[in-house]
Structure 1
Amino acid sequence: MIDKRPKIFISYAWGNKEVKDRVKELAERLRHDGVDVVLDIWDLKEGQDKYAFMEQSVNDETIDRVLIICDKVYKNKADNREGGVGDETVIISPEVYKHNQQSKYIPVIFERDENGETYIPTYISSRMYIEFSSGNEDDYEQLLRMLYEKPLNKKPPLGEMPSWLLEDNSENIKMEGEVRKLKKANENGRGDFAKNNARKFTDIIINALNEQQNVETFKKADAIDKVNALKKIRDCVFEYIEELAANEELSAEFLIRLFERLYNETPKADGVTYSQSNVDCFAFFRWELFIGVTAILLNYESYSILYEILKNTYFLRANFYSGSEQRPSGYLEYNRYIDSIEENKSHFDKNYFSKIAFLLCGREKYPILTKDAMARADLVLYQLSTVFDIVSYRMYNFWFPYMYSYVKGDLLWKRLVSRRQCEKIMPLLGVDNIIKLKNLISQAKHNSGVRFSGAFNAAPNILDYIKEKDIGTLP
């Protein structure tokens, strides 16, 4: 239900049948849409004084708006004070000049001259008008929204002062600024912005993370509190990557460079700020980011990009104290047991199979990075590590899926019964035909050893979702 039906009077110049027909059509449509229209065609009866009718309609306090239909004839009569239009002008113009904030009198453009200029009477030429000369349906919607005071572009509610203004961290301000600039560039169709600013954004993220280590409260915090302190930076990175992915601007090169620099440059390997809680909180940050990026890529079906970052050889520092030596490594280096979190008792009210998994479940970022999406991404990273040849310096050569117990329902592998789905998923596994796809997936067998101590179920592999012989058997 609406609070009040708008009531309007339409003022136009007599003498042009085409204009009169258009005005009548407009009035009928407005009436149909609930607007009470006062119009001479309906409301001026034989024997009535037409000038009295016009004066009464213009001055009627129950009239919310007066639509002034602007064409060449109306402008000439208004400017020269001729006929009924001239009389209305004499009545209206003092109100317009006296109350410059009023919005009762609305010019509606029905005609333009040969140069595209509007025919608006001089006394109201400075007022915002509604375009009606093009016949565009959006113009009618704009008029209707104006009459009902339901604008398309609503002024957003006034928010609170950004918390980062109270922080002594200039990199946080730059970081959030880059996210805003990327979104604005995409709104304006500037697809080159992301490519030209990828390195700058990575620099800002690295600096923000390392600047955080100088904050006194951060220095004194344990690994879990430090993880929570880095959440704003994490959110900015995810927001930036989601924006790139949504606009098909995301590249494997950008992600590879980001992950490599995060590993090699955070925390700072200066031998001074080193602490185990720093090492562990940044290990969590990288692990969470790798899972989140995987979830984003799966969401947008950017399978070829995901394949590239999983098969890439990263050059990562061998230790976090000096950071000098680098060695070739696979993505498994972003997945590790984090002692100071898994063995922490002060932050958890009971035991969990994995405390880092439980911690990550409480750090959802809607709409994409839900608990389920991240759990599925974590499991897919494990499953793909069993079919890819990945450089590793570990005792076990696979990604341990700490979140596998949170996965609900089936994964994308069950759809591989369809040849169409096989073709869709091939880029994720780096193959180009179903035979190669089957050969690769044949390695993804169930491993009962991939489970938590005391857990009943092991992490499922690809062949737990589909049998090799069923792959590609349907259209």
Structure 2
Amino acid sequence: MTPKVFISYSWSSPAHKERVKAIADRLLSDGVDVVIDIYDLKEGYDKNAFMEKMVVDKSITNVLVMCDSVYVEKADNKKSGVGTESQIISQQVYTKVEQSKFIPIVCEYDEHSEPYLPVFMGSLIWIDLSTPEKENHNWERLVRHLNGKPADIKPKLGQRPSYLDSEQHAPVSEPYAKLNSLKQAILQNRTGVSYFRRDFVDAVIGYLDGMRVRTRPEDTELLSLGKKIISDVTAMKPLRDYVCEWIALEAEFTGQDDFSKELIRFLEKILLLTEVPSTVTSYQPNWFDAQKVFAFELFLYSISKLIKLEKFQLIRTVLSARFLSGDKSLPPEHRLVSVNAFLTDSETLQAGFEEDSRYYSPVAEFIKRNADREDIVFGDLIQADLLILFYSFCNDGIYWYPNTIHYVGYNYKPELFIRATQHQYFEHLAIIAGIASAQEIKLKIKAGAQRVRVSGFSYGRMGSDFESMMNAERLDSIK
């Protein structure tokens, strides 16, 4: 429905009248039907009757009250036409508790920098059009309001989080507060950013560490443990989102060398959380599946975010990193682990789904269900998963198996690999692979895909078309 507004104002001065007329004309040009005396009150008409009719007319969707010092003085003292009109409006305002028909438009401020508003409108939400700059800034807000299309729409009510019905988890307010402090420090170029970063990382790791099992669970049945994994990882989701924000922030504002070191240190701490706490001497490995699932999910989100930001050298740095294991029983030469350590799966998680369907990868299924961000959708995680496999094909000593690939259709090719048909985009893959030659990369992909096919890890229809998924034949074919 086309909005129709009546503009109520005082003839304060010729300049004010022209300003009101300009606003009316601008509204008309933006598809808002306007009733105003300049155009609609003809000679011989009763102006008081006209104003009263417009204020109470049901076809008028909103009344814009142009508030300047003269209007306020006349309205508060019930003078002339504005006074009559204001009495009609005030009766409407005070007899309709949930009214939104009348919109005060601030056109002037007093000497104390307070907006001129009549007493009867003092409690209403107003829009500032007092200067051309304020008009331009608030114009969209006004037009959206008149059309019933606000910029901020309340999200629909979601489902009750499953973790509320199981264990109680600590609030995530501290990591959130630390992230905001870090954000302000970076954006304001303050000294001591490293201290704010350390506080944020410590808050995230501390929260996650507090969720690790340190005493035998009361119920060790597979169903109960599976539900606990779902509950725990769901409770960790806000931390996942905070880390995505942190990566986006620092990847743009912090030097790449500095941030790559910080990100790798952070990911190493995440891996340490997947290990058994040193104080625990008797345990079952699946007691720590929640931490393993979260680490894998977080790693995919981190790579996805870096792809979005086109930080390809940073991606290579992360994928080539080695992380120090906390397992001191390992020989020193085995203490440094690759990104392989993030790979995980969990049959215990399968039991927590409480459904007949069996999944090739329960972890991939859970990550799919848990993917609720708008900036990183599940398809982005699949692309990241395949990119890590691509890196493993091109670099010896790295093993990866992309379990999320089970959710793609035939002829699947992610955007990153499709674009790499063009030389300028192929160079992004070349940076990640650490190989400049397209021909060499193609040979690496072919050999890697063959290794997967004969490795015994290939199941379902996977393992036979990675070359196609990576667009191997067409890489760097458009110069």
| TM-score (ref. length: structure 1) | 0.72
Cα pair distance change 1:246/1:71, threshold 3 Å: same
1:410 is aligned, of 407, 410, 413, to 413
Partner of 1:387: 394
1:425 is aligned, of 426, 429, 440, to 429
CA distance in 1, matches of 2:461, 2:422: 32
Partner of 2:11: 13
Cα pair distance change 1:404/1:73, threshold 3 Å: closer
Partner of 1:268: 277
1:241 is aligned, of 219, 243, 257, to 243
CA RMSD of aligned residues (A): 4.9
Partner of 2:399: 398
Cα pair distance change 1:280/1:43, threshold 3 Å: closer
Deviation at 1:355, TM superposition (A): 4.2
Alignment of 1:36-75 (within 5 A): 37=35, 39=37, 42-46=40-44, 48-50=45-47, 53=50, 66-75=63-72
Flag the structure with larger Rg: 1
Partner of 1:205: 208
Alignment of 1:152-167 (within 5 A): 152-154=151-153
1:312 is aligned, of 321, 329, 342, to 321
**Mean alpha-carbon deviation: is it higher for 93-102 or for 268-277?**
93-102
Cα pair distance change 1:38/1:381, threshold 3 Å: closer
Partner of 1:169: 168
Determine if contact 1:307/1:429 at 8 Å carries over to the other structure. yes
Partner of 1:130: 127
1:290 is aligned, of 282, 299, 307, to 299
2:232 is aligned, of 198, 217, 230, to 230
Cα pair distance change 1:7/1:467, threshold 3 Å: closer
Partner of 1:327: 335
Alignment of 1:26-45 (within 5 A): 26-28=23-25, 30=27, 33-35=31-33, 37=35, 39=37, 42-45=40-43
**Mean alpha-carbon deviation: is it higher for 53-62 or for 242-251?**
53-62
**Mean alpha-carbon deviation: is it higher for 31-40 or for 308-317?**
31-40
Cα pair distance change 1:44/1:20, threshold 3 Å: same
SS for the counterpart of 1:216 is coil
**Mean alpha-carbon deviation: is it higher for 238-247 or for 70-79?**
70-79
CA distance in 2, matches of 1:378, 1:152: 35
Cα pair distance change 1:99/1:183, threshold 3 Å: farther
CA distance in 2, matches of 1:457, 1:141: 51
Determine if contact 2:313/2:432 at 8 Å carries over to the other structure. yes
SS for the counterpart of 1:68 is strand
Higher helix share: 2
Determine if contact 2:293/2:345 at 8 Å carries over to the other structure. no
Determine if contact 1:68/1:105 at 8 Å carries over to the other structure. yes
Deviation track 1:130-153 (CA, whole Å, cap 9, x = no partner) reads 322223235444444445555444
SS for the counterpart of 1:69 is strand
CA distance in 1, matches of 2:356, 2:94: 70
SS for the counterpart of 1:386 is helix
CA distance in 2, matches of 1:202, 1:25: 57
1:365 has 2:364 as partner: no
Deviation track 1:317-343 (CA, whole Å, cap 9, x = no partner) reads 348xx89988122222333676x5699
CA distance in 2, matches of 1:190, 1:161: 35
What is the aligned residue count?
453
Partner of 2:478: 474
Amino acid in the other structure paired with 2:175: E
Amino acid in the other structure paired with 1:137: N
Deviation at 1:55, TM superposition (A): 5.9
Cα pair distance change 1:194/1:6, threshold 3 Å: farther
Cα pair distance change 1:99/1:156, threshold 3 Å: farther
| TM-score (ref. length: structure 2) | 0.71
Determine if contact 1:307/1:428 at 8 Å carries over to the other structure. yes
Partner of 2:265: 257
Gaps of 5+ in 1: 391-396
Cα pair distance change 1:282/1:439, threshold 3 Å: same
CA distance in 2, matches of 1:346, 1:142: 45
Cα pair distance change 1:190/1:30, threshold 3 Å: same
CA distance in 2, matches of 1:455, 1:49: 83
Determine if contact 1:317/1:324 at 8 Å carries over to the other structure. no
What is the percent sequence identity of the aligned residues?
Answer: 23
SS for the counterpart of 2:454 is coil
Determine if contact 1:7/1:63 at 8 Å carries over to the other structure. yes
Deviation track 1:430-453 (CA, whole Å, cap 9, x = no partner) reads 46xx35x75566444422423546
Cα pair distance change 1:350/1:282, threshold 3 Å: same
Partner of 1:302: 311
Determine if contact 2:213/2:287 at 8 Å carries over to the other structure. no
CA distance in 2, matches of 1:375, 1:116: 55
Partner of 2:255: none
